Amino acid sequence: MVSTGLLVLRIVIGLTLAAHGAQKLFGWWGGPGMAGWTGVMTRMRMRPAAPWAWLSSLSELLGGLGLAAGLLTPLPNLAIAAAMLVAISLVHWPKGFWNTKGGFEFNLSILAAVAAITLAGPGSYSLDAALGIRLPEPITLIAGVVLLLVGVGGALGTRAPAVPATESKTQTA
């Protein structure tokens, strides 16, 4: 039963994230597509915007597919966690907890799900189990968390400085 529960969780969270990434990459299901997503990244002051747009959307698409399939399970989970942490930091945190106000409730739920799957493993109904893949523990998790922190820090550290409100009004006038 545990493996069935992990399978359901992996498929729902994984395909939800993959679809979210596909919205950004391809414009499917009312998404912005890559040009629109790059514009969003520009408005969030990410620089350079295009590589960060590609990295974030591929983290969601490929991370979601990898999670759903249960392939190299800690790695897609770390990619998803990085995308969620950056989204919380840049967009959702200032809006509070509740998703109805644009808060981080949904992102936190995804983080909790991928953390649980990372700790429990993908279960016996996964490509990892079918192919006999077992990444070395705890080295994979420690190295992955270090890479996660470096990636999130890099994303947040490359943002352009905020333009003070008085300057932005002067520039648009």
pTM for the predicted model, two decimal places:
0.87
pLDDT (tens, 9 = 90+) of the chain, 173 residues, equals: 889 999 999 999 999 999 999 999 999 999 999 999 999 999 988 889 899 999 999 999 999 999 999 999 899 999 999 999 999 988 999 999 999 999 999 999 999 999 999 989 999 999 999 999 988 878 888 888 888 888 888 888 888 887 776 655 555 55
CA distances from 25 to 15, 66, 76, 81, 137 (A): 15, 17, 17, 19, 33
CA gap 154, 133 in Å, rounded:
30
CA gap 29, 3 in Å, rounded:
31
